[in-house]
Amino acid sequence: MNHNYVQKNDWHQVDIIATLRKRGTILAAVSREAGLSLSTLANTLSRPWPKGKWIIANYLGIHPSEIWPSRYFDMDGQLIERNTRKVSTQQLFS
């Protein structure tokens, strides 16, 4: 157990939207740029959707675990093991 670990909170939805605005865009535009409908990425803010998280994080130039650490690390800061499919970046954005 890592007693020195300081648990990070997930970003608030408003912070994600504000960060996108600081980059000169809005969530709907990022959604359209990814070939999705205007409101599709908004679902990522309220429910888990790995592809959506990657699209948003890639746009911001960071890993999704920085935005949603609770989905990647346990209470001790250990990486949560997940069984995931291998997906290329090309598949992710097509």
The pLDDT value recorded for residue 3 is: 55
Q: Which residue in the block uniquely carries the two structure tokens 């990522």?
A: 44
Does 8 fall in a domain?
no
pLDDT tens for the chain, residues 1 to 94: 555 556 689 999 999 999 999 999 999 999 999 999 999 999 999 988 999 999 999 999 999 999 998 888 777 777 777 666 666 666 666 6
Nearest to 41 by CA among 18, 66, 32: 32
Is 80 a member of any domain? yes
Let me know if residue 1 belongs to a domain: no
Domain, as residue range, for 62: 13-92
Domain-embedded: residue 79: yes
Domain assignment present for residue 66? The answer is yes
Report how many domains make up the chain: 1
Q: Is residue 3 part of a domain?
A: no
**What is the value of pTM for the model shown?**
0.74
First to last CA, the chain: 40
